[in-house]
Amino acid sequence: MNNVLWLPGWLLFCLIAVQTASASHIAGGNIEFVATDKPNQFQLSLNLYIDEASKGADAVIEPTIIVSIFRSQDNQLMGDYTLKFVRRLLLVYANPACARTRGLETSEVRYSAQIQLEASQFSDPAGYYVVWEKCCRNKNVVNIRTPEASGMVYYLAFSPLLKNGTPFRNSSPVFLTPNAEYICLNKPFSLAFRATDADGDELRYSLTTPYNDNVYKPAGFNNSPNSPAYRLLRWMPGYSEQTAITGNPPLRIDLSSGVLTVQPDQLGLFAFTVLCEEYRQGVKIGEVRRDHQILVVDCSAQVPPKPAVAALDPSGQSPLEFCQGSAVLLKTDTDTNFNYQWRRDGYNLPGETKSVLRAVEPGDYSVIKSFAIICTRDSASEVFRLTLKLSPPATIQAPDTVLCPTRPLVLTANQQADFTYQWSAGHQEIAGATNGTYTVNQAGQYRLKIYNRTTNCISYDSILITNGPLQQVTLATKAGKMLCEGNELVVTITNDGTTRLRYNWLRNNISLPNSSQSIQNATPGDYVVTVTDTTQCALTSANVHVNPRPHPVIDSLPPICGQTASVLPLSASPPGGTFSGPGVTVDRFDPAKAGVGQHLVHYSVTNSYGCLADTSRLITVLRLPIIDLGPDQEVRAGGSVQLAGPVGTNLTYSWETADFQPLSTNSSLTVRPKKTAVYKVTVWTNGGCPVSDEILIEILPGLFIPTAFSPNGDGLNDSWAFSGIGAFPACSVRIYNRWGELIFQASPYRQPWDGTYRGNPVGPGLYTFVVRPAPDQPEQTGTLTVLAGQ
């Protein structure tokens, strides 16, 4: 850590001062990295041992802490992981009177979280390590230099999750919770520091120098990588990793059992680290370090009488065999002047402080005896060893614990000639179930009782049989509809909703290309479906018959010619159904009620299976055009008349005379009749529904206006006389000369003009006339030539 050396002294002091107040109450700890049942998922935990007596007001137990994983070969940060506070557990002191007198109180604080790692990202052959750092240590530690400025590093190394492309499963060693202990000066002392390994790997124990935390951390890191390697604590003179506690002998640890031994010759608080290395087939695959500190005190020379341990029930001497699943009552002294703490394999049993212990596990049992009120040395009983009889425990084997309704489950007990069997369902023995196998047809808790006639041991095993996710398969239509053609067939299943299912459909014993939970628009026939879950449990539904529907048809109807058309009968097949719609009464359609437009008429019919079907057809009531050619007309010979039919869409026209002579197909017609005649127009809507009207055009006599006359007195054409004037009694005439001067005017025109103006004959030439035959007729304009006399 060369970078630390040049820090200014005041900054180094500040860093140490800030951190010292936060961790001096931590007396040790270790990390755990345990594989769960899921691939590449681990329970990552940190155990801290807290000196409650030295804990200041600022020593806060945080709700979360952050540990970091680094790659070993290059110290690359792989991730920071947040662990949550899980529990706080007070540790047991075997001599509570001395613990109270000396103010000793220690607790275990545990942080933990499940983490998921990606195996491909954790495949480096050099492996990985987990760390958590904290500064600083208890200033009263005597075997290291400047403990108040020295931190702690909790460290665990693990192998890659992939080795040569193959998953490598491993859990770290897990240290057992230590006894809360102190050591008496110059007295032999031992402390179990054992770990367990879920994989059965070989564990080797040794003492090592504790790591010191880095004074600073690189930007972006919650914990420092070990590049360069973590600093080691500096021992005080006379101390080392092999003599962390001096004495005769000094502190030692057994390579295989992890038992610490020492007979100390110095008082004080001592820090040390136990390294537990993990080997598989002779190859190291991981390690974990546990930091610890322990107090050496000067104990009173007074020693309680050595306690005795005996087996009460069943009675016997150590070592004593007992049956697995049973218990042995161990008894020690009953003097109330003393405290008693039971131990198994060197570890205090929490809460076991009475004179009788119910022991249910094999092991080396002992009692620590101490005065109840005064603080002196304690004494330990001889070890009473309990071992299990060599009687195989009851074991139930089953191909599965999930019951399929169509596949009974056979439970099999372990077999031995001197075994007798009894099966129970729940707490009730099953009559006659005394064989080594039992066939289960219902879910529940099943228990096997085995009596070993040789060892007189009774052992039990139990198994919980649960119903599989697939329990019932029902085939029906959706929402309670009839089993009719075109409805949806749906599989109703009783399951937990989490299992993937396969569906195999048959119609009339022929497989259908459908793998879903339903069939849309089912056609008539016999259906069954087989549903299979992931455990290969298959259930087949009862046969369901889908009935055909009728296929109704409404007879076609041509467009109806207007609302005044007659009521029409409705007809459809198959008969017996019901009509409905606008203008429909029973089986009649009334155009007057329906009105003009397109109307959807429905027909529904139910067959003998109860299956309903319906159909519909459009019926059109046409809007007929209104034809009115008006009243009969009169026209003068040579005149014309404009006749107009109705205007609209989808109309066709036909004009003709009374004698059926076709005239036009336009919507209007101009006629110039030569004689009085009747004209007829017929109009069709959409090619049908013809309507007609007629009109009489009468020819009136004509008025002939001559264009020249000769007023010469010869008796021929001496006046401008009109032929047919008698039919126009109100005829008016005006005549103008070439200068536009009115030279003659008469209304009515009874006396023809004689060719004079103011009594004098006009000169020959052209004159303009304006004639209105009748007041209701237009004026006729033309030129008149006055001829010279001969």
Are 121 and 250 members of one domain? Answer: yes
This prediction has a pTM of: 0.55
Instruction: Choose the final residue of a domain: 467, 500, 520.
Output: 467
Are 366 and 405 members of one domain? Answer: no
Give the angle subtended at the CA of 352 by the CAs of 346 and 357, to the nearest 5°.
Answer: 90
| pLDDT of res. 20 | 37
Q: Give the 3-state secondary structure of residue 48.
A: strand
**Cβ count within 10 A of residue 558:** 11
Look up the CATH number of the domain holding residue 600. Answer: 2.60.40
408 cis-preceded (ω within 30 degrees of 0): no
Find tokens 């006009």 and name the residue. 762
Q: Which residues have CB under 8 Å from 9's CB, separation 6+?
A: none
Are 124 and 186 members of one domain? Answer: yes
Instruction: Choose the final residue of a domain: 372, 388, 404.
Output: 388
Residue 628 lies in a domain: no
Residue 438 lies in a domain: yes
Residue 451 pairs in a beta bridge with 420, 458
Look up the CATH number of the domain holding residue 455. Answer: 2.60.40.10
CB-based contacts of 735-740 (< 8 A; 24+ apart in sequence) = 735/767, 735/768, 735/769, 735/770, 735/784, 736/767, 736/768, 736/769, 736/770, 737/762, 737/767, 738/765, 738/766, 738/767, 738/768, 740/768
Are 507 and 573 members of one domain? Answer: no
Residue 533 lies in a domain: yes
**DSSP class of residue 566?**
P
| pLDDT of res. 499 | 67
| pLDDT of res. 11 | 28
Contact 256, 246 (CB under 8 A): no
User: Using CA atoms, how far apart are residues 520 and 144, in angstroms rounded to an integer?
Assistant: 81
Straight-line distance from the first to the last Cα atom of the chain, in angstroms, rounded to the nearest whole number: 156
Are 88 and 17 members of one domain? Answer: yes
Are 117 and 19 members of one domain? Answer: yes
Contact 329, 312 (CB under 8 A): yes
Find tokens 């080997």 and name the residue. 279
581: left (phi over 0), alpha (psi -120 to 50) or beta: left
Are 657 and 529 members of one domain? Answer: no
Are 57 and 107 members of one domain? Answer: yes
User: Using CA atoms, how far apart are residues 144 and 272, in angstroms rounded to an integer?
Assistant: 9
Are 46 and 158 members of one domain? Answer: yes
User: Using CA atoms, how far apart are residues 253 and 628, in angstroms rounded to an integer?
Assistant: 128
Give the angle subtended at the CA of 249 by the CAs of 140 and 318, to the nearest 5°.
Answer: 110
Share of the chain above pLDDT 70, in %: 94
Residue 579 lies in a domain: yes
Q: Which residue segment(s) compose the domain that 691 sits in?
A: 633-700
| pLDDT of res. 495 | 66
Residue 128 lies in a domain: yes
Are 383 and 254 members of one domain? Answer: no
Per residue in 508-530, pLDDT (tens digit) is 999 989 888 888 888 999 999 99
**Structurally, how many domains does the chain consist of?**
7
| pLDDT of res. 59 | 66
Residue 344 lies in a domain: yes
| pLDDT of res. 8 | 30
**Both structure tokens of 396:** 């139930």
User: Using CA atoms, how far apart are residues 638 and 499, in angstroms rounded to an integer?
Assistant: 99
User: Using CA atoms, how far apart are residues 633 and 588, in angstroms rounded to an integer?
Assistant: 45
**Cβ count within 10 A of residue 504:** 15
User: Using CA atoms, how far apart are residues 319 and 274, in angstroms rounded to an integer?
Assistant: 31
Residue 627 lies in a domain: no
| pLDDT of res. 283 | 96
Helix (H) or strand (E) holding 69: strand 64-71
228 cis-preceded (ω within 30 degrees of 0): yes
Contact 135, 216 (CB under 8 A): no
Are 381 and 336 members of one domain? Answer: yes
Contact 749, 726 (CB under 8 A): no
Q: What is the mean pLDDT of each run of 10 residues along the chain (790 residues)?
A: 31 32 76 96 95 70 93 94 94 83 87 96 96 89 92 95 94 92 90 93 97 73 76 94 95 94 94 97 97 91 92 93 91 93 90 93 94 88 94 90 86 92 93 93 92 91 87 76 84 70 91 86 90 84 91 90 90 94 93 91 92 92 88 80 87 88 89 87 88 87 86 88 87 94 93 92 94 88 84
Q: Which residues have CB under 8 Å from 633's CB, separation 6+?
A: 641, 695, 696, 697, 698
Are 557 and 540 members of one domain? Answer: no
Task: Measure Cα distances from 69 to 33, 82, 225, 273, 368 in Å.
Answer: 11, 11, 9, 21, 42
Q: Give the 3-state secondary structure of residue 4.
A: helix
Instruction: Choose the final residue of a domain: 438, 467, 496.
Output: 467
Amino acid at 519: I
**Both structure tokens of 661:** 């002579």
Residue 404 lies in a domain: yes
